[in-house]
Chains A and B, each alone.
Chain A
Amino acid sequence: MVISPSALGWTILLSPLAAACGIQLFGVHRRRLSATLAIGALLVSFASTLLWYTFSSIVTWAVPNPFQLPFEASLSWISLPGLTISFGVLIDQLSLLMALVVTGVGSAIFIYSTAYMADDDAYSRYFGVLSLFAFSMLTIVLATNWIQLFMGWELVGFSSYLLIGHWYAKPSAAEAGKKAFMVNRVADFGFMLGILALWAVLPVDRTFHFQTLEKQLPLLIQTGVVSVAVLPLIGLLLFCGPIGKSAQFPLHVWLPDAMEGPTPVSALIHAATMVAAGVYMLCRTFWLFEIVPSVLTTITWVGAATAFLAACLALVEFDLKRILAYSTLSQLGYMVMALGLGGAVAGMYHLTTHAFFKALLFLAAGSVIHGTHEQDIRKLGGLWHSMRWTSLAFLVGGLALCGFPGLSGFFSKDEILVLAYGHNAPAFWLALVTAGMTAFYTARAWFIAFTGKAHGHGHESPPAMLIPLGVLAFLSIIAGYIGIPHFLGQHGEHHAAWLVPGLSIAVVAVGLLLAWLIYSRGTVSAQQLVQALALPYSFLQRRYYIDEIYMWYVETVQQRWIAGACAWVERVIIIGFLVNGTARLTRRAGHILRLWQTGRVQTYVLGFLLGIVSLLTLALRR
C-alpha cells in the first residue's frame, strides 16, 4: 500500500473536522456515537502524525523519500489577481512536534472526558466542540500562511468560548466565555493589523506564505526594498496575538476565569495546547522576529513579567484550578521569554514538556474535583489516603512543574534559564526567583490538599480517567530524555557550567522547604505571615486590581460613557433634533399655511377668480 504524504497530512488536519461535522449532523442525541467519533478521529490524527514522523525519519538511500521534511501540500482558497491565499498543511519538525503534542495529549484528554463528563446532559455538544477545537488547533499548527494561521487562531478562540461557556446556565461560566473571547478579540485587533501591514510592506508579489516570506524578507531588506523602520511596529502588532492567546500580561485576565469550563477543557485548551498557540506562532515565524531585536527585547520582558507576576498571584490563590491556571500563565511567560531571548528551540521544548505535565496536573485536579466535588484547597485535605493514584499523578506533575531534577520540567526550564543567563541577566534573576516561587506554590497546594487530615470522603476515579493520567505521568517523566531539542534542530551547545542548574536546584529546594515548613510542619504560621504582609497580600488577592480596571473600562468608560454618548447623540441630536426637528418644522409651516385654507368653497372660488383676473390682466397688458 502506498500512502501519499499529502493524503496523510490532510488526514491529520481534517479528521477532527469530519468528526465535528458528523457529531453535529448525526450525533446530537447519541452520546456514545459522539464520543466514539471524536476520540476515533483524534486517534486517527495522532496515528497519522506518528506515521508521518516515522516515515520522515526513515532514511532511504535508494529512492528519495517522499516524506521529506519540510513538506507542504496546499489548496488554493482564494485566488484573485494580486491576491492568493491557500489553505494547506505544512509539515516540518516544528509542526510535527506540535501536532504530536496536540493530538497525543488531546487523545488522552478526550478519553478522560468520557468518564469526567459522563453525567453531563450536553455530552454530544461537548465532544463536537472538542473536535472542532482539535481541528482549529491543527489548522494553526499546520498552517502554511498567515491567513490560515489567523483562521485557526480565531476558531480556537471560538471553540474555547463555547467550551468555557459549556455550562452556560451558570452566569459565571457564560461571562467567562465572553470575557475570553473578548480579550482575545482585542489582541487579535493588533494581530490582524500586523498581518495586514506585513502583507502591505511588500511592494510586489505580496504573499502571506510563510516559506516564501522567510526566504524573501531578508533579501528585500538587504536590497532596501522593505524599510527596516516599519518592521518593529509590525513585529509588535503581530506580538499582540500571542499576548492575547498565550495570556501574557496585561491581557492575561481571561485565563484564570476560563477555569469555569469543565476541567478536561482546562487541561487541553487552557494549559496544554491553545494557550501554547501564541508561543508556537512565535516559533513558526521566528525568522521575522529575529530581524527586529527591539521587538525581541519587548517579548523577553513581557514574558519575564508574566512569569513573575503570575507566580505571585498563584501564591495566594486557594482554588486548585486557578493555582494551576496561574502556574500556566507563569510557564507561558517562561516560554515567551525564551523566544524573546532568541531560543525558539528552548521555548518549544518547554512548551512540549509543559503540555505533558500541565495536562497531567489539570487532569489530576479534575479527578479530585470528580471525586470530591470541591476545588477549594482549604476544604480539601488528606487526599493522599483516599485517592492514591490521583495524588501520585499530581505529585509527578507538580514535581515536573517545579523543575525537580530528573523530571522533564527540569530540563526544559533549565534550557531557558541557561539562555537567560547568557543573554539577559536581569531576566535571568527574575526567572530564577519565579522558579523558586513555582516550587513554593506547587508544594503549598500539595501539602494543603493532599497531605494532612482528610476533610471529606473522596473516592478514586474510574480507569478511563486514571489511564490517561498514567500515560501523561510517564511522558512527564521521560520527556526530558527523548531528545526533543535535537529533533528541533539544536545540536551541541551543552553547557558545561553547573552554575545555572545548581542555582535552579537550590532555589527549588528553598521553595519546597519553605512550603513544607509553613504548610506541613507549621513551623511558621500561614495566618501570621498573611497578617504580617497584609498589604501586598490583599494586593495580590485582588489580582493587582487589573480586573477592576478593565471592568471599569468596559462597564463605565466604554459602555456608559462612549456608547452612552453615541446613543445620546443618536437619540437626542440626530433623531430628536435633526430628523424629528425637520418633521416639526414642516408641521409648523403647515400650521401657518393652513390658515389660508378656510374650508369654505366660496373663498377658494373667490381666490381662483381673483387669480385668473390678475393673470389675465397681466397677460393682456403686455
Chain B
Amino acid sequence: MSCLPLLILLAPALGAIAIAAVGSTRHALVRRISVLATGLSLIGALWAVATYDAPTGGYQHEVLVPWIRSLGIGFHLGVDGISVVLVLLHALCAFTGVLISYAIKDRVKEYYLFYLLLITGVFGVFLSLDLFFFYFFYEMAVIPMYPLIGIWGSDVKEHGVVRFSKEYATMKLTIYLTLGAAVALIGLLWLYVSSGAGTFDIPRLQQHFVTSPLGMPLQRAIFPLLFIGFGIIAPMWPLHSWSPIGHAAAPSAVSMLHAGVLMKLGSYAIIRIALSLLPEGAQMWLPWVAAICVMNIIYGGFVAMAQKDLKLTIGYSSSSHMGYVLLGIACLTPLALDGAVLLMFAHGLMTALAFALVGHVYDQTHTRYLPDLGGLAHQLPFIATCGVIAAMASSGLPGFANFVAELLVFLGGWDRYPAAIVCGVFGVVITAVYMLRLVRGTFFGPRKPVFTHVQDTRTLFARLPYVILVSALLFVGCWPQPLLRLIDASSRPLVERIRPSVALAKPTPERTLRRLPPPRPHPAPSGRQGHP
C-alpha cells in the first residue's frame, strides 16, 4: 500500500471540490487552489518517478480497495515504468496549464472546476489498474472537455470568416470520443466476459491469460474493437478529424492538456490493455496498424502544411506525430516501444509548449491566421525564442527529447517495417517544412505597426510555465537515460511476453549469457517449459 497514487489522484479532485465551495468572484483564491492542487500532484509524480525501482519492474506504489467483489471490481491504483512517465507528463502539463490559464478572465471558478475534473480523470486513467475504473476515469476525462471548449473556446476563423465554430468543434469532439469509448467498452466487456476470470483487475487478467490464453478467434475479434475505440482518441487516421479542430477551438490551456496528454490516453490504453491482454490479436493486426501510421504521419504532415491557422497546423502536426507513437507500438520491439512511450512524453511537452505560445500570441494579437501575423519577434522576444525552441523540438532537433524518441522508434522499427520507417524519417522533413514556415510567418519579418501594443511575458511567474516545459524537454533530450530506464523496465517484459522470439532474436552477448538457463544435467526439450 502506498499513498503516492492517492495523493496524485486526489489532490486535483479535492481541489475541484474546494473550488466548488469557494465564492465565484474570488478568482485569486480559485487560482491558488488550482496551483496548489496540481503542484501537489506534480510533486507526487516526481516522487513516483524518483522512487520507481526499475530493476524490480512491474507495478509499484499499488493501492487496492476491493469494491464490488461479485463482479471482481476493485479500486486498484499503481504505476509501472510506462505509466509513471506519463503521469509525470500529465502532472507537468497540468501544472503549467493551470499557470497558463491565468489568462482566463471569464467564469474563472467554473473553468477551473472543469479543468481540475479533467486533470483528475486523466490521472485516474494513467493510475488505474482496474478496467472498470480505467473506463470510468476515461469517460471522466472526456466529459469536461465539452463545456471547456464550448464555453471558453474560440472559433476557427479564416479571413475573419468562421470556418469551424467552437460549438461544432466541441460537439464533434465529444461525440467522437464517446463513440470511441463506447466501441472500446464493447471490447472491454467482451474481454471480461470471455476471459472467464471474473475480474476487472488488469494484473490479475494478465496472469490469468498467461495460463489460459484467450482463443485466437476471440483475440482477433476483440483487438480491433479496442484498437479502434482507443485509437480514435490517439487519434488514428482516418478517425482523427475531431482532434485538430478540437485543439484549434479549445482555450490554450485546454489544448495543452488535450494535445499534450489526452491523446496519449489512447495510445496508453492500447499498450496497457489491447497489447498486454490480447497479444496474439495484436500480432495479427499490427501490420495494418503500421500502414495506418504511415498515413497518419505523411498525410497529417501534408495537411498541416496546407493550414493557415496556427492552432490547426499544430493540431494536424500532433496527429502526424502521434503516428510515430502508434508506429512505435506497432513495431513491437523493445526499442520501438521505448521510443513510442518516450515520444508520448516528449510530444506532450512540446505540443503543450506550442499551444501555450500560440495562446499568448492569440491573446495579444487576437488572431491566429498566419497571413495576418509577422515580425512578432520584435515585440515578443521571449515568446519568439520559445517558439523557435518548440519548432525545433517538434522537428526533432538533437538535444530535445523528441529526437531521442524518434531515433528509438526508427532504430527499433527498422527490422520490422523498413518502408514505414523510411516514411517516418521523411515525415521529419515535412515537419521541418511547416514548423519553419510557422516560425517564419509568425515571428520573423519586418515589424508590423498593428502589433505595437503587443506585450511579451514580463514577470518570471508568467514565464514559469514556458521555462518548465522547455527545461523538461531539454533535460530529457540531453539525458534520456533515467526515463528510458523506467520505460524499458516495463516495455521490454511486455514485448517479450507478446513475442517471445523477438527478445532473443538479436541479443547482445552479455544479454544472451544472462538469459540462458543454467546448464542442466539432461538436455532440455525444446519449446516451452513448465507445461507437463
- Chain A contacts to B: CB under 8 angstroms: 76-83, 147, 150-152, 154-155, 158, 162, 165, 168-171, 174-175, 178, 181-182, 185-186, 189, 192-193, 196-197, 199-200, 203-206, 558-559, 562-567, 569-570, 574-575, 578-579
Interface residues of B, CB < 8 Å — how many?
A: 58
Interface residue B325 (Cβ < 8 Å from any Cβ of A): no
Given contacts A154-B398, A562-B302, contact A81 B507 (CB under 8 A): yes
Contact digits for B121-150, partner A, Cβ 8 Å, 1 yes 0 no: 000000000000000000000000000000
From residue B317, how far is it (CB to closest CB) to chain A in Å? 13
Q: Which residues of A contact B392 (CB under 8 A)?
A: 158
Given contacts A82-B506, A158-B397, contact A563 B447 (CB under 8 A): no
Which of the listed residues A80, A162, A181 has the most CB atoms from chain B within 10 Å of its own CB? A80
Interface residue B432 (Cβ < 8 Å from any Cβ of A): yes
Cα of A571 to Cα of B378 in the assembled complex, Å: 35
CB distance B511 to A81 under 8 Å? Answer: yes
CB distance A570 to B506 under 8 Å? Answer: no
CB distance B425 to A168 under 8 Å? Answer: no
Given contacts A81-B507, A83-B335, A193-B422, contact A563 B488 (CB under 8 A): no
Contact among B378, B437, B480 for A178, CB-based, below 8 A: B437
CB distance A77 to B481 under 8 Å? Answer: yes
- Nearest A-chain residue to B245, judged by Cβ: A575
Interface residue B47 (Cβ < 8 Å from any Cβ of A): no
- Nearest A-chain residue to B398, judged by Cβ: A151
Q: Which residues of A contact B334 (CB under 8 A)?
A: 80-82
Cα of A76 to Cα of B480 in the assembled complex, Å: 11
From residue B444, how far is it (CB to closest CB) to chain A in Å? 4
CB distance B338 to A80 under 8 Å? Answer: yes
- Nearest A-chain residue to B240, judged by Cβ: A574
CB distance B509 to A204 under 8 Å? Answer: yes
Q: Which residues of B contact A165 (CB under 8 A)?
A: 444
Closest 8 CB pairs of A and B: A567-B306, A151-B398, A174-B444, A566-B302, A563-B306, A563-B305, A168-B444, A563-B302
- Name the interface residues of B390-406: CB closer than 8 Å to any CB of A: 392, 395, 397-399, 403-404
CB distance A169 to B378 under 8 Å? Answer: yes
CB distance A574 to B446 under 8 Å? Answer: no
- Name the interface residues of B414-473: CB closer than 8 Å to any CB of A: 414-415, 421-422, 425-426, 428-429, 432-433, 436-437, 440, 443-447
CB distance A196 to B444 under 8 Å? Answer: no
Q: Which residues of A contact B437 (CB under 8 A)?
A: 178
25 A-B pairs with C-beta separation under 8 A: A80-B488, A81-B507, A82-B508, A147-B407, A152-B398, A154-B403, A168-B377, A170-B446, A174-B444, A185-B428, A186-B429, A189-B428, A192-B410, A196-B421, A199-B411, A558-B433, A562-B302, A566-B299, A566-B306, A567-B303, A567-B307, A575-B241, A578-B238, A579-B172, A579-B242
Interface residue B375 (Cβ < 8 Å from any Cβ of A): yes
Q: Which residues of B contact A203 (CB under 8 A)?
A: 506
Q: Which residues of A contact B395 (CB under 8 A)?
A: 185
Which of the listed residues A205, A206, A562, A579 has the most CB atoms from chain B within 10 Å of its own CB? A579
Q: Which residues of B contact A569 (CB under 8 A)?
A: 299
CB distance A78 to B484 under 8 Å? Answer: yes
Cα of A169 to Cα of B488 in the assembled complex, Å: 46
- Nearest B-chain residue to A190, judged by Cβ: B425
- Nearest A-chain residue to B172, judged by Cβ: A579
- Chain B contacts to A: CB under 8 angstroms: 172, 238, 241-242, 245, 299, 302-303, 305-307, 334-335, 338, 375, 377-378, 388, 392, 395, 397-399, 403-404, 407-408, 410-411, 414-415, 421-422, 425-426, 428-429, 432-433, 436-437, 440, 443-447, 479-481, 484, 488, 492, 506-509, 511
CB distance A205 to B508 under 8 Å? Answer: yes
From residue A148, how far is it (CB to closest CB) to chain B in Å? 9
CB distance A200 to B415 under 8 Å? Answer: yes
Q: Which residues of B contact A562 (CB under 8 A)?
A: 302
Cα of A205 to Cα of B506 in the assembled complex, Å: 8
Contact among A78, A204, A563 for B508, CB-based, below 8 A: A204
- Nearest B-chain residue to A84, judged by Cβ: B508
Cα of A574 to Cα of B428 in the assembled complex, Å: 24
Q: Which residues of B contact A154 (CB under 8 A)?
A: 397-398, 403
Q: Which residues of A contact B436 (CB under 8 A)?
A: 178, 181-182
Cα of A203 to Cα of B509 in the assembled complex, Å: 12
CB distance A76 to B481 under 8 Å? Answer: yes
Contact among A83, A169, A564, A570 for B411, CB-based, below 8 A: A83
Cα of A185 to Cα of B445 in the assembled complex, Å: 22
Cα of A182 to Cα of B429 in the assembled complex, Å: 8
Q: Which residues of B contact A565 (CB under 8 A)?
A: 302
Given contacts A158-B392, A192-B410, contact A174 B238 (CB under 8 A): no
Which of the listed residues A79, A193, A562, A563 has the most CB atoms from chain B within 10 Å of its own CB? A563
Q: Which residues of A contact B414 (CB under 8 A)?
A: 196-197, 199-200
Cα of A155 to Cα of B399 in the assembled complex, Å: 8
Contact among A155, A171, A193, A204 for B398, CB-based, below 8 A: A155
Q: Which residues of B contact A186 (CB under 8 A)?
A: 429
Cα of A170 to Cα of B481 in the assembled complex, Å: 41
CB distance B375 to A574 under 8 Å? Answer: no
Extra pairs beyond A82-B507, A162-B388, A169-B444 (20, CB < 8 Å): A77-B479, A77-B480, A79-B481, A80-B335, A82-B506, A83-B335, A83-B408, A155-B399, A168-B443, A171-B444, A171-B445, A175-B440, A178-B437, A182-B433, A185-B428, A189-B428, A203-B506, A563-B302, A563-B306, A574-B241
